[in-house]
Amino acid sequence: MRLAVLKERRPAETRVAATPETVKKFIALGLTVAVEAGAGLSAGIPDAEYAAAGAELAPDAASALHGAGIVLKVRAPLGTGEGAVDELSLIARGTLLLGQLQATPEMAATYAQLGLEAGAMELLPRITRAQSMDILSSQANLAGYRAVIEAAAAFDRGFPMLMTAAGTIPAANVFIMGAGVAGLQAIATARRLGGRVSATDVRPAAKEEIKSLGASFVGYEDEESKAAQTAGGYAKQLSANFYAKQAEVVATHIAKQDIVITTALVQGRKAPTLVTAEMVRSMKPGSIIVDIASDAGGNVALTKPGEVVTTENGVTILGHSNWPGRIPAAASALYARNLLTFLTTFWDKEAKAPKLPESDEIVKGVLLTRGGAVIHPSLAPAQA
């Protein structure tokens, strides 16, 4: 069976879905691997390294996809009118397509119509058995790290307290909003750099995690926040009253911060606005805000997704898209391993092909379409 790896063509996408390391392992499983020329360049992987790992280099997407039974992508393949190459139209019916596939009802219908077995890796259940395949965690972890590094680079003072013969520079006050995977890594990174770190979240479990990393907890808690976590571990959408109370606590704290990193998401919704324009105006000139949630609309009222803005009072807001893509070599290495683990977990050694039983919780969570129909429980048309 042939596995194809395409070059990513969507804006701001620098990652690649397979590395020479994973290519070698796919070949050891009995697959032949085709990599589109230039696929790894923006992640620092030259074509020659894929060739040395045993991959066939294909000059374009069409030749990489020719005869492929498995296609690995970071982002959803381009469709009609989306770019110079209509990648979707080049993928044969029956092909297993794995990536972050924009699992909307419309996209699922398109994959079904094309007869693809589309696996949306962003829907992977957050269960222990699936941890090593969890692209959301591997990518969020790096996003949290990278956000702090970029904040430190943009900040015109230091993170640690610097005691020198010429005098002392105080440590930076760093506030992390949202302590999920990205936020916890941001806390750890900011602490390693020597910042004075505080953090907030709405889930009660997050408070303990914040403290265990040595940061102080800042937040509003009431009866509602005691039940702020869904069974899947995500934050729930809370009442307007709760958000108003939370904003009051945040407002006094934020005015004293040098660096604010926002990471808060509520599954399936636009990111909550946690930092109002007024709060930004209360911050000192030279302060930095990094909005990791910018792709989901942003946590900061003044974020311009994909852009860096400096406000009238001298606060810089980094609203870049695709934070994991800003550390592409590491992000690709982890993403590629996540896909490798998924495929090896569901590998039929005798058939030398993947076997994805719909009865398995992980497969059920990920697989959007099969046999020309949308089969995902949250996307399939309701049965009459």
Choose, from 131, 237, 239, 378, the residue flagged as catalytic: 131
Choose, from 47, 126, 220, 321, the residue flagged as catalytic: 126
Q: Which residues contact 316 (CB under 8 A, 6 or more apart)?
A: 154, 287, 288, 289, 308, 309, 310
Tell me how far apart the alpha carbons of residues 59 and 352 are, in angstroms, rounded to a whole number.
Answer: 26
Report how far apart, in Å, the C-alpha atoms of 262 and of each of 256, 272, 378 are: 16, 10, 29
Record the tokens describing residue 158, joined without a space. Answer: 């230091």
Q: Which is nearer to ligand NAD, 263 or 287 (CB)?
A: 263
Residue 201 lies near ligand NAD (rule: CB under 6 A): yes
Q: Which residues contact 165 (CB under 8 A, 6 or more apart)?
A: none
Residue 294 annotated among the catalytic residues of the structure: no
Q: Which residue among 25, 75, 203, 370 contacts ligand NAD (CB under 6 A)?
A: 203
Tell me how far apart the alpha carbons of residues 378 and 103 are, in angstroms, rounded to a whole number.
Answer: 10
Q: What angle do CA 193, 195, 199 make, to 5 degrees?
A: 120
CB 283 within 8 A of CB 256: no
Record the tokens describing residue 375, joined without a space. Answer: 């089969």
**Residue 117 Cβ, how far from ligand NAD at the closest point, in Å?**
24
Q: Which is nearer to ligand NAD, 3 or 280 (CB)?
A: 280
Binding mask 145-184 for ligand NAD (x = CB under 6 A): --------------------------------xxxxxxx-
Residue 137 annotated among the catalytic residues of the structure: yes
Residue 257 annotated among the catalytic residues of the structure: no
Q: Which is nearer to ligand NAD, 35 or 202 (CB)?
A: 202
Q: What count of other Cβ atoms lies within 10 Å of the Cβ of residue 34?
A: 24
Residue 282 annotated among the catalytic residues of the structure: no
Choose, from 137, 198, 246, 257, the residue flagged as catalytic: 137
CB 214 within 8 A of CB 208: no
Please work out the total of residues on this chain that contact ligand NAD, with binding judged by CB under 6 A.
31
User: Per CB under 6 A, which of residues 82..141 are in contact with ligand NAD?
Assistant: 126-128, 130-131, 134, 136-137, 140
Radius of gyration of the chain (CA): 22
Residue 324 lies near ligand NAD (rule: CB under 6 A): no
Q: Which residue among 274, 289, 336, 368 contacts ligand NAD (CB under 6 A)?
A: 274
**Residue 37 Cβ, how far from ligand NAD at the closest point, in Å?**
35
Q: Which residues contact 332 (CB under 8 A, 6 or more apart)?
A: 15, 16, 17, 19, 40, 43, 45, 74
Record the tokens describing residue 49, joined without a space. Answer: 């390294």
Residue 50 annotated among the catalytic residues of the structure: no
Q: Which is nearer to ligand NAD, 234 or 347 (CB)?
A: 234
Interacting stretch for ligand NAD, rule CB under 6 A, among 30-38, 82-90, 153-161, 258-266?
Answer: 258-266
**Residue 229 Cβ, how far from ligand NAD at the closest point, in Å?**
7
Active site members:
126, 131, 134, 137, 234
Return residues touching ligand NAD (CB under 6 A): 126-128, 130-131, 134, 136-137, 140, 177-183, 200-203, 206, 233-235, 263-267, 272, 274
